[in-house]
Amino acid sequence: MQSISLYIPCFNVERHIALCLDAAGRQTCPTTEIIVVDDGSTDDTVSVASRYPVKIVKHGGNKGLAAARNTGIRSAAYDLVASLDADCVPKPDWLEKLADCLKDDDVAGAGGRLLERNSTRLPDRWRTFNMRQHWGDEPITNPPFLFGNNTLFRKSALQQAGLYNERLRTNFEDVAISETLKLQGHTLVYQPAAVVEHLRTDSLYSAIRANWRWRFLGYRYDINLRNTIRGIRKDRVDELRYFLSGDAARRDVSCAALSLVAAGYAVAADLKYLLRHNGERKVHTSGIEGVLAQEALAANRAGNKAEDFRGK
């Protein structure tokens, strides 16, 4: 078995980091080094992490998740680089299952299945079903993307892809890097047998706000009224249909009500974002897709009608 580096990006996670590190240290396939990347925490995250045999790398301030991931990758001593979000607790064979996927030299990365530990209260139950972070029960070669919360990549492949796009501060960085790797001819694998448990809990507000940020930030560009209305008519309506169909199948009236509230919040947030950023042109992608987006913006500036582009 090759040596494996594991990094954990952290920002104000004093409640969870000990559980994450305890489980990371009990893997059937042990890591050679564990790197804690502190992204400007203001709580006791570093103090708690310091009790463990880990390497701690600190940012001077909060730079965002993508930057923390890149710091972890650059700090890794080995070509196989695993990552865990700090609010995730891996099963003992988690890393072993992912490492088995990379025995094939054509595979550049693998990701596992995230299951919610807390799903009793309404916001957490709604998140469990409507913000699911896995692709189901069966292994998949080249899924749409690998969720960033638990992965194992070849460092050399990530470097070839240009690492994570640091403009994507809080989300979508996992989608963008997956797209770039696949466009470069690499193979990715989803392995549901590699399981981590998510420790997150939500309030009603934090759940619907996280959903909006999850599905909005990172794939819009050219912020204007026309594109915002188009996004509401297409994306928000499609999203609500998806939510309500699942809620109806489970006969979950409470979740259906929250889905309606989430849709209303998302429309209001879209319009608020428009008022604040109207006229801005933002590209939130990486690699080849980013080049295509830049070309579309250049054509728009030249007075041509640019095609609508989405990184998703």
- Transcribe 27-70 into DSSP letters: -SS--SEEEEEE-S--SSHHHHHTTSS-EEEE-SS---HHHHHH
In one letter, which amino acid is 25?
G
pLDDT at 260: 97
pLDDT in tens, the chain (312 residues): 689 999 999 999 999 999 999 999 999 999 999 999 999 999 999 999 999 999 999 999 999 999 999 999 999 999 999 999 999 999 999 999 999 999 999 999 999 999 999 999 999 999 999 999 999 999 999 999 999 999 999 999 999 999 998 887 777 889 889 999 999 999 999 999 999 999 999 999 999 999 998 877 534 457 788 888 888 887 888 899 999 999 999 999 999 999 999 999 999 998 998 888 887 765 444 343 444 444 444 444 444 333 332 333
Per the CB < 8 A criterion, the answer to whether 215 and 165 are in contact is no
Per the CB < 8 A criterion, the answer to whether 97 and 193 are in contact is yes
- Burial environment of residue 102 by CB neighbours within 10 A (0 to 12, 13 to 18, 19 or more): buried
Top-level class of domain 4-198? alpha beta
CA dist 254 and 105 (Å) reads 47
Triad 218, 223, 227: Cα angle to 5°? 95
pLDDT at 287: 40
CA dist 83 and 266 (Å) reads 30
Which residues make up the CATH 3.90.550.10 domain(s) of the chain? 4-198
CA dist 192 and 189 (Å) reads 10
